[in-house]
């Protein structure tokens, strides 16, 4: 047992040492937090921590650089910042983790350097609803409380590879993290476009039960739909010809029985997607071509 514990300790120490090469600190009030160097001068961190004016970062060599905001992805709570061409960090090695894997949460504190804590991957999942703004594509959760200051910083696997980024606060009794491959893909999108447009239809609706005629029109595949009570002027919905009084029952081949299902479909397909909406109008089913707007 003693040798096994010593080996585990040595492996964790080596993993933390590797992670320290791509973990940066953010000097912000009222407490310091962290970020991940993802190659070159790019830093990825939690969007809710970053001001539009950027942030000051403490780098692995102890120097301080100002990072300019390059883009935000509010649904995934990610922000990309650039430190300037004089910073040329190596790209952090990425890895995936499974339920039961040990991961290390790492932060860089401006005063006492690297801090770390051990956690277990407790679950993995898809399509996590984030308030009313959208749906998180994929995520994993870890047990234990988050070490103060690790928000925005990396979770690394037993080899010290970048496994995920800690962004959201505690949800559903565990810490939520964005998998590294998804975070890096969103960072690439932010680098190319500066933002990730949020899909937007431009309607207000309420869930209603379908009438007997409505049930027959949808062949009893669902019992409810969304009654459109407002269609915004100039919106994607208005351009598609959707009208107040329509009952939305499907988008892009997926049933829409409530607002959450509509948000999920729009988030999955994204702004600019060309879909077909199904609405009950005048007692019959009407199919309407639709291009999803952006907010």
Q: Mapped to the 3 state alphabet, what secondary structure does the chain carry?
A: CHHHHHHHHHHHHHHHHHHHHHEEEECCCCCCEEEEECCECEEEEEHHHCCCCCEEEECCCCCEEEEEEEEEECCCCEEEEECCCCCCECCCCECCCCCCCEEEEEEEECCCEEEEEEEEEEEEEEEEEECCCEEEEEEEEECCCCCCCCCCCEEECCCCCEEEEECCCCECCEEEEEEHHHHHHHHHHHHHHCECCCEECCEEEEEEECCHHHHHHCCCCCCEEEEEEEECCCCHHHHHCCCCCCEEEEECCEECCCHHHHHHHHHHHCCCCEEEEEEEECCEEEEEEEECEEC
Mean predicted confidence (pLDDT) in 10-32:
90
Judged against a pLDDT cut of 70, whether residue 174 lies above it is answered with no
| Cα–Cα dist 142/167, whole Å | 12
- pLDDT of 288 reads 94
Per residue in 122-141, pLDDT (tens digit) is 999 887 776 555 677 788 99
Question: What one-character-per-residue DSSP string does 207-253 give?
Answer: EEEPPHHHHHHTTTS-SEEEEEEEE-TTSHHHHHT--TT-EEEEETT
Judged against a pLDDT cut of 70, whether residue 170 lies above it is answered with no
Mean predicted confidence (pLDDT) in 13-34:
89
Place of tokens 């780098």: 59
What distance, in Å, lies between the first and last C-alpha atoms of the chain?
57
The residue that leads in pLDDT, 77 or 155, is 155
If DSSP codes are grouped into helix, strand and coil, which group holds residue 171? strand
- pLDDT of 29 reads 72
- pLDDT of 68 reads 96
pLDDT classification of 180: cutoffs 50, 70, 90? very high
Mean predicted confidence (pLDDT) in 7-14:
93
Is 73 in contact with 189 (CB distance < 8 Å)?
A: yes
Mean pLDDT over all residues of the chain?
89
| Cα–Cα dist 192/190, whole Å | 5
- pLDDT of 169 reads 59
Angle at 154 (CA atoms; ends 15, 111), nearest 5 degrees? 85
- Write down all domains in the chain, each with its CATH number in brackets: 1-196 (2.40.10.120), 199-294 (2.30.42.10)
Mean predicted confidence (pLDDT) in 20-24:
95
| Cα–Cα dist 92/19, whole Å | 8
Judged against a pLDDT cut of 70, whether residue 251 lies above it is answered with yes
Per residue in 195-232, pLDDT (tens digit) is 777 788 999 999 999 999 999 999 999 999 999 999 99
Mean predicted confidence (pLDDT) in 275-285:
93
Bin 203: left if φ > 0, else alpha if -120 < ψ < 50, else beta.
beta
User: What predicted TM-score, i.e. pTM, was given to this entire model?
Assistant: 0.76
Beta bridge partners of 12: none
Task: Find the helix or strand (DSSP H, E) in which 179 lies.
Answer: strand 175-179
- pLDDT of 81 reads 96
Per residue in 146-157, pLDDT (tens digit) is 788 888 999 999
The residue that leads in pLDDT, 45 or 33, is 45
Structure tokens, 3? 């040798």
Task: Find the helix or strand (DSSP H, E) in which 187 lies.
Answer: helix 180-193
Mean predicted confidence (pLDDT) in 237-257:
94
Mean predicted confidence (pLDDT) in 9-36:
90
- pLDDT of 265 reads 84
pLDDT classification of 271: cutoffs 50, 70, 90? confident
């Amino acid at each position: 047992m003693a040798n096994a514990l010593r080996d585990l300790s040595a492996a964790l120490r080596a993993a933390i040492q590797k992670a320290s090469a791509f973990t940066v600190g953010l000097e912000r009030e009222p407490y310091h937090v962290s970020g991940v160097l993802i190659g070159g001068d790019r830093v990825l961190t939690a969007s809710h921590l970053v001001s539009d004016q950027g942030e000051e970062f403490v780098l692995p060599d102890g120097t301080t650089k100002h990072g300019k905001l390059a883009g935000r992805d509010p649904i995934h709570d990610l922000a990309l910042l650039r430190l300037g061409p004089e910073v040329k960090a190596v790209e952090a090695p990425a890895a995936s983790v499974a339920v039961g894997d040990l991961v290390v949460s790492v932060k860089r504190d401006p005063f006492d350097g690297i801090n770390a804590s051990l956690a277990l991957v407790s679950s993995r999942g898809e399509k996590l609803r984030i308030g009313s703004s959208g749906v998180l594509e994929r995520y994993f959760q870890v047990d234990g409380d988050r070490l103060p200051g690790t928000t925005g910083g990396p979770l690394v696997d037993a080899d010290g590879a970048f496994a995920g980024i800690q962004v959201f606060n505690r949800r559903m009794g565990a810490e939520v993290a964005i998998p590294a491959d998804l975070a890096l893909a969103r960072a690439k999108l932010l680098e190319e476009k500066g933002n990730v447009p949020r899909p937007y239809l431009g309607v207000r609706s309420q869930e209603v039960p379908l009438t007997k005629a409505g049930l027959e029109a949808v062949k009893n595949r669902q019992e409810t739909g969304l009654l459109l009570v407002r269609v915004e002027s100039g919106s994607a919905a208005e351009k598609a010809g959707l009208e107040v009084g329509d009952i939305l029952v499907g988008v892009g081949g997926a049933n829409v029985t409530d607002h959450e299902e509509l948000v999920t479909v729009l988030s999955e397909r994204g702004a600019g997607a060309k879909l077909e909406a199904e609405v009950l109008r005048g007692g019959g089913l009407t199919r309407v071509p639709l291009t999803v707007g952006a907010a």
